[in-house]
Amino acid sequence: MEEEEEEEDLKTKMKKNTKEKIMKLKSSISPSEEWVSLSASLRKKKAVHKTTTTDDKRLQSTLKRIGVNAIPAIEEVNIFKDDVVIQFLNPKVQASIAANTWVVSGAPQTKTEQFQKQAPEAGAASAVAQEENDDDVPELVPGETFESAAEEAKA
């Protein structure tokens, strides 16, 4: 019981001291600087801001651990996602086949209308080309196999 009372007394004293410090600081600071100075004076630790170079270094070290290799001479990468196409021109491409990981870095551009218009045209062209290729391959007669057809052609 006594220990609990002592702890409560300490907590109240600490709160009282903090309030007194705040009041002293408020009285010595002009109203325009009040919040900036007050928060800075009460802060125990100065906030350390991470730079983007730190993040880049961490990313590169992780990629090295995975075993990523650079793939040169790639001019364009298109990533199709839903109705949006993310396009990278002259990207830096790295890959690790073992880890099934591809890294594409560069300036992305998002496109929607252009590829939606091209996709049906490309699909129709490939279907026509597929039909033309199908005409070149003769149909097998039921009951024959490729081996027997090849033997007949040799004879």
Token pair recorded at residue 101:
């990981």
How many other C-beta atoms can be found within 10 angstroms of the C-beta atom of residue 104? 16
Average pLDDT of the chain to the nearest whole number: 76
Q: How far is CA 152 from CA 64, 135, 141, 149, 155, in A?
A: 57, 21, 13, 5, 5
Q: What is the pLDDT of residue 116?
A: 54
Q: For the sheet with 92-96, list strands across it.
A: 69-71, 92-96, 101-105
Q: Look at the block and give the residue holding tokens 């090295």.
A: 64
pLDDT digits (tens, 9 = 90+) for 9-20: 777 877 777 778
Q: What is the pTM of this model?
A: 0.41
Q: CA 64 to CA 66: how far, in whole Å?
A: 5
Instruction: Please count the residues of the chain.
Output: 155
Which residue in 99, 59, 108 sits closest to 79, CA to CA? 108
Q: Which residues contact 35 (CB under 8 A, 6 or more apart)?
A: none
Q: CA 90 to CA 72: how far, in whole Å?
A: 10
Q: What is the pLDDT of residue 90?
A: 93
Asked if residue 25 lies in contact with residue 35, where contact means CB atoms within 8 angstroms, the answer is: no
pLDDT digits (tens, 9 = 90+) for 82-117: 888 999 999 999 999 888 999 999 999 998 865 555
